Amino acid sequence: MAYARSTCHPQIGSIDENKLVELYQELRRDSITAGGVPVAVRHIESIVRISEANAKMHLRDHVRNEDVDMAIRVMVESFIAAQKYSVQTTLRRKFRKYIVYKKHNNSLIMHILQQMVRDQMTFEQMRSGARGNIGNGGIDHDIERIEIREDDLLIRMRELDIHSITTFLKSREFSSHGFLYDAERKAIIRNV
């Protein structure tokens, strides 16, 4: 890290500036019409800085288009995550071509699955809180296990043009994150 900091000072060379302009215009238009937080010029400046940082991590003297693409993915994911939930889903569909850049399908599926688990946990907590009484903090029971239906995951995967789940279910990434697959019930289970 010290070597990169002292010797590498990447310069922006011949990158596709039109891609940044189009991205800014699309994000600006869609974030305003969707009712979310609008994109600002500082978001594009962030892309430039992240691109330079990525080139520096790879000890390059010039920023390549792949550095810019990676920076766009990071910024778009971050920008979408800062929106209201209803706006997030719309923007995620619209900008998926930027989000999936150089991500392995298993990583994408894991990201979707973890998001679904978080959503399910939030739902269960809100549901149990609504049923609970004030004496125990509004929660009748702790959530011990989350179950995601395979069909629900497949629907979300198809939004990213991923159609096969078999490899993912057999992957080390799946099991190492504490997930189990129940073939009889066609459900993915995670003990919380």
What is the C-alpha to C-alpha distance for residues 52 and 62, in angstroms, rounded to an integer? 8
What is the C-alpha to C-alpha distance for residues 146 and 152, in angstroms, rounded to an integer? 14
Question: Quick count: other Cβ atoms within 10 Å of Cβ 93?
Answer: 11
Residue 189's pLDDT is: 93
Residue 130's pLDDT is: 60
pLDDT band, residue 83 (cuts 50/70/90):
confident
Residue 161's pLDDT is: 72
| Strand segments (E) across 11-168 | 11-12, 62-63, 145-149
For the chain, the average pLDDT equals 82
Residue 183's pLDDT is: 92
What is the C-alpha to C-alpha distance for residues 88 and 96, in angstroms, rounded to an integer? 11
Please name which of 44, 53, 91 lies closest in space to residue 72, comparing C-alpha atoms. Answer: 44
Residue 111, amino acid = H
Q: Compute the C-alpha angle 116/119/121, nearest 5°.
A: 110
Model-level pTM?
0.55
pLDDT in tens, 84-135: 877 787 788 788 778 766 567 888 889 899 999 999 998 888 887 765 544 4
138-143: average pLDDT? 52
Domains and CATH numbers, the chain: 2-99 (1.10.8), 105-191 (no CATH)
pLDDT in tens, 51-79: 999 888 888 888 888 888 889 988 988 88
